[in-house]
Structure 1
Amino acid sequence: MYEMRTLCTDAERDEAAALVQDRQSWLTMRSLPVPARADVPALFRKPQAKPAGLFEDGVLLACMIPQRAPDLGWGSGPCLFLSCSHTLPERSDNTILLITLWASDFAARLDLPLVRAEALARQPLGVDPIAPFLLRLTDMGWAVRGSDTGQHEERVARLELIAERRSGLSALISCRVHEPQSSADSRTVA
């Protein structure tokens, strides 16, 4: 069974920061884009960011910072934005599929019509080293909405997924993620 939950303890947030560093090293060794921001691992240590993680039998497979309807500067209307998403190296494909299913369902339960995300892209999308990754994402239901400057002032591919309630998903992925809000208050969405 998989579990998506808000990272509430210092130990969980430290584990997420270490996963981000491992992923960045893995990307660097393969000459793939790595965030230029040096503080990305530190973002996961901040409790106020409300980072979330996907776990399998206690092992952290992925982490991200879910945000409700941030001002992205692209797309229109409310959305669930998955900021700073990172997966455990060598486990990406199945993990991304699980995140896709969860995010689509979670956004629908929040009455948000879309999920948006950004993937680093240094070159035109058709020739960028992430082109195969983007193709896998489109096979999972994501739409590529072009490329431009992203949330962290880096060139990104803009991604969008339609929110959809997925009955029975809780049998595969339990969810204990705090609802992303603009205020300091949050509640858990089950």
Structure 2
Amino acid sequence: MRTLRTDAERAEAAALVQDRQRWLTLRGLPVPAQADVPALFRDRQTRSAGLFEDGKLLACMVPARDPGLSWGEGPCLRLGRVHTLPDQSDDITRLITLWASDLAARLDLPVVRAEVLARHPPQAVPVALLRRLTDMGWDVRGSGAGREGDRVTCLELASEHRPGLSALISCQVHAPHLTGDDRSSA
């Protein structure tokens, strides 16, 4: 996992997001209605990160230290705009989960928070996705309007030091800063 530093890496992340959004649309699954997410990843001001394996981008996101989302109490590591390469195994999501939990612990943050887009009505979040995420340790904290106004399911994950994780995934991500800037929010 590393910070996206070059224009080429940011363009690759934007293309991954477009591929994922196309994949979701073809399956009738929700995509963000309000934001141009590919443009967000192209923007040099966005402090985005990517999960690479052998030089191939498998996932991208915007990690940020957050004093609290409207639905969560207290500080957290917020994973925003998480997108994975379409048609990949759950291993990518599992690695992101382990990495985020460890990073939050190293930053002395108690939890990781994320939002998963939901269809309308709100209970129409793909049950299989939520089951996989809860099996990985995420807790569902309700649903409602997300940061961008889209309907979301709110997820929270306890931070946990994972000393052996570096054998599976290295971390070369900037230390997320407190957000107040919309460019780093998700």
- Name the residue aligned to 1:171: 167
Percent sequence identity over aligned pairs: 67
Shift of 1:105: 0.2
TM-score by length of 2: 0.92
Q: Distance in 2 between matches of 1:131 and 1:169?
A: 29
Instruction: For structure 1, list consecutive stretches of 5 or more residues without a partner in the other structure.
Output: 184-190
The letter for the 2-side match of 1:19 is L
Q: How far apart in 1 are the matches of 2:40 and 2:33?
A: 14
Letter of the 2:58 partner, please give it. Answer: L
Q: Residue 102 of structure 1 corresponds to which residue in structure 2?
A: 99
**Alignment CA distance shift 1:80-1:129 (3 Å):** closer
Name segments (4+ residues, structure 1) moved above 2 Å: 123-126
Give the alignment of 1:50-129 within 5 angstroms: 50-124=47-121, 126=123, 128-129=124-125
2:178 matched to which residue of 1? 182
Letter in 2 for 1:135: R
| Residue identity opposite 2:91 in structure 1 | N
The structure that is strand-richer by fraction is 1
| Residues paired across the two proteins, number | 180
State how far apart, in whole Å, the 1-side matches of 2:27 and 2:148 are. Answer: 22
Q: Which moved more, 1:32-41 or 1:52-61?
A: 32-41
Q: Out of 145, 148, 151, which is 2:147 matched to?
A: 151
Secondary structure of 1:47 counterpart? coil
Deviations 1:4-63 (A, max 9, x none): 000000000000000000000000000011111341111111222110000111110000
Give, in whole Å, the separation in 2 of the partners of 1:98 and 1:40. 22
In the superposition, the TM-score normalised over structure 1's length comes to 0.90
Distance between the aligned counterparts of 2:134 and 2:122, measured in 1? 13
Q: CA RMSD in A?
A: 1.6
CA drift of 1:125 comes to: 5.5
* CA-to-aligned-CA distance 1:89-120 (integer Å, 9 cap, x gap): 00151110010000000000000000000000
